[in-house]
A and B are shown apart, each in its own frame.
Chain A
């Protein structure tokens, strides 16, 4: 494979524009996670995040989160103008560390759940939810 100058330029532009868009969204997400965790390490897994693969209605998407032994779970919609959705705090009398809600998604994006466990550790799950125009299945 040989790269011409034009190819290189095109690749460069593609890379820049790809990098530019998610960064801004990610910064708010990273800030929210850092504020929640205080900068502590977050491990993947141990959190159940139940979301549809494709939203039936982007204005009201059912989301369920839960983690055994969670003290709190923060829910983020990474692609929304304001990513913060909710933080659920589970007191000692809570029967289970799980909650369900409906959220509005501006478009196809990742929904992220961060759980603060009773031992002070943090766990994470994420799911990609597609928001589509639809209309041609058959």
Chain B
């Protein structure tokens, strides 16, 4: 593990790259109720170039609660390194006081208590305030969006991404890359991309038939900023046709395409780029591996795995910046770029405390306009919750436990499955559950809830397959989601074993019997990647369940036994 001090020393030893992170400890200020916008934005402008990074917004226009993961296990070389450090260990690593605003923003402990004192986070009107403030200090700052922007809410679904396009156009990024956007279907993606006033980048977005680069998604764009030439190379999510339904964007192929990334870096360097930035939707561990293998990238702006890190991670002379998700953070990176190289940086992960940062009025009105046609649908109360509802974590979250319970009861199944996605805000105990809350954790273009029979052997194969996508020790074989969530069945997993040997002790919870490989079980699930999946939409299934219960209570889930962590 690189400690903060090591990090600085490594930086100095490795090269002229000098770094500093403006990571504040605001505990005392907050105790005095005096945490201010100025303190959150405080930054001594440095060097000649500024990058602003937002990523994985998942269509969250309004402030939300978002609990960070308790369980985020690393395997192989990643074991015990950020971002695979959570809770008290994370606070210790970065010197964060228990109960402080940073503890609330970056770790999971006492979440419901801290959420009540520090309030909601995010909101694109607050993000706009932060972006404008940075631009007033550095008017030619580059704003870069790492993707997963046009997905994840009721209004985004109903407008097929138009609400987010309108809001982001008002925020005026300089470039963007992609993942869930493609689940709008390739035709809609092309339609939206054609109208974008900024660059849609992806060096790894290929034509499927000819295995050649596409015209719609150029690999990079070179900007002139602060007297320097800055190349931004896009890297879309490599495993879209595997993790999401391939039939929705059959014309496209993705992949890591490391060799081409190197070619693109060499090409932009030859074209005179002084600074090479990779705008990535690889996921953190993949970015880390790529940083060590592709030569000549100065800055990786990392997305997909939703990690929020208060300091960049240094690999060789490349810094990797991870900016969280759901609009909860904005990263500011100031760089000293001279003589064709990055000489130093200053970085700050800015948490968007929605009660501290004043909403930008212009953006607030753009957001209101997107939501106005749907306001009565969004605000309709479906029920209440007694429990904290959250999703993030490798194995289960209470939102998914609730969804799995709903699938078993509403669809009369033995076992239920919910995809291990990392998006979806939290709801506090005692709060109403609105339709907006439910759609924030379920909305997608392939949300139909299937009901089918699977043998015990096939269920085992699925768990092994997904387990290897998460725990393969080689990051290039990881897809970046979490483990598929299971209702009605317990199992044990040894994350250090190879595929085929990780999962054991599969037990049907309602009878306590071992799962029989040869026997068929009724399984209800959603988000199948297969074309032609039939069933009701998942949000209708869960809405009906919540309405029937009135108040939902989710008991702690202890049905997954993890070893090897």
Residues on A facing B (Cβ under 8 Å): 50, 52-54, 56-57, 62, 100, 108, 130, 132-138
Contacts and interface: CB of A to CB of B under 8 A. Distances in A.
A50 B256 CA distance: 11
12 contacts: A56-B253, A132-B469, A134-B243, A134-B465, A135-B242, A136-B481, A137-B237, A137-B239, A137-B242, A137-B479, A138-B421, A138-B423
Given A52-B255, A62-B211, A132-B468, A137 B462 contact: no
A137 B241 contact: no
Given A52-B255, A56-B255, A62-B211, A137 B246 contact: no
A56 B529 CA distance: 12
B259 interface: yes
Interface string B399-419: 000000000000000000001
B332 interface: no
Given A137-B469, A138-B419, A138-B422, A132 B242 contact: yes
A108 to B, nearest CB: 8
A62 B420 CA distance: 28
Interface of B: 180, 208, 211, 237, 239-244, 246, 253-256, 259, 419-423, 461-462, 465-466, 468-469, 474, 476-477, 479-484, 499, 527-529
Please classify the interface of chain B as helix (H, G, I), strand (E, B), loop, or mixed, using the class held by over half of its residues. Answer: loop
Given A134-B242, A137-B469, A54 B477 contact: yes
A138 B469 CA distance: 11
A50 B260 CA distance: 11
B419 A136 contact: yes
Contact of B469 (A50, A57, A62, A136): A136
A138 B253 contact: no
A56 B254 contact: yes
A135 B254 contact: no
Nearest to A53: B476
A107 to B, nearest CB: 11
Max chain B C-beta neighbours (<10 A), residue from A54, A57, A138: A138
B241 A56 contact: yes
B477 A57 contact: no
Nearest to A52: B255
Nearest to A138: B421
A78 B61 CA distance: 50
A108 B482 CA distance: 21
A135 B484 CA distance: 9
B419 A100 contact: no
A138 B481 contact: yes
B420 A138 contact: yes
Nearest to A134: B242
A136 B211 contact: no
B292 to A, nearest CB: 16
A-B interface, 9 closest residue pairs, ranked by CB to CB distance from nearest: A137-B243, A138-B421, A134-B242, A56-B241, A137-B479, A135-B529, A137-B481, A133-B465, A53-B476
A135 B527 contact: yes
Given A50-B259, A100-B211, A133 B421 contact: no
A135 B180 CA distance: 13
Nearest to B466: A136
Given A134-B239, A134-B243, 19 more contacts: A53-B477, A54-B255, A56-B208, A56-B246, A62-B253, A132-B469, A133-B462, A134-B242, A134-B469, A135-B243, A135-B527, A136-B420, A136-B421, A136-B466, A136-B469, A136-B483, A137-B243, A137-B421, A138-B481
A137 B483 CA distance: 9
A130 B420 CA distance: 20
B241 A136 contact: no
B473 to A, nearest CB: 12
A57 to B, nearest CB: 7
A16 to B, nearest CB: 15
A130 B243 contact: no
Contacts of A136: 243, 419-421, 466, 469, 479, 481-484, 527
Contacts of B208: 56
A100 B212 CA distance: 12
Contacts of A56: 208, 241-242, 246, 253-255
A109 B469 CA distance: 16
A137 B477 contact: no
Contacts of B480: 137-138
A132 B255 contact: no
Nearest to B424: A138
Given A50-B259, A132-B468, A133-B461, A138 B477 contact: no
Given A137-B469, A137-B479, A54 B211 contact: no
Contacts of B420: 136, 138
A37 B194 CA distance: 53
Contacts of A130: 468, 477
A126 to B, nearest CB: 15
A135 B528 contact: yes
A53 B242 CA distance: 12
A54 B499 CA distance: 14
A73 to B, nearest CB: 18
A50 to B, nearest CB: 7
A57 B466 CA distance: 16
A134 B244 CA distance: 8
Nearest to B286: A53
B246 A57 contact: yes
A50 B477 CA distance: 15
B255 A53 contact: yes
A57 B247 CA distance: 11
Nearest to B242: A134
Contacts of B482: 136
Given A53-B477, A57-B241, A134 B419 contact: no
A123 to B, nearest CB: 18
Contacts of B237: 137
Nearest to A137: B243
A54 B243 CA distance: 11
B479 A134 contact: yes
Contacts of A134: 239, 242-243, 465, 469, 479, 529
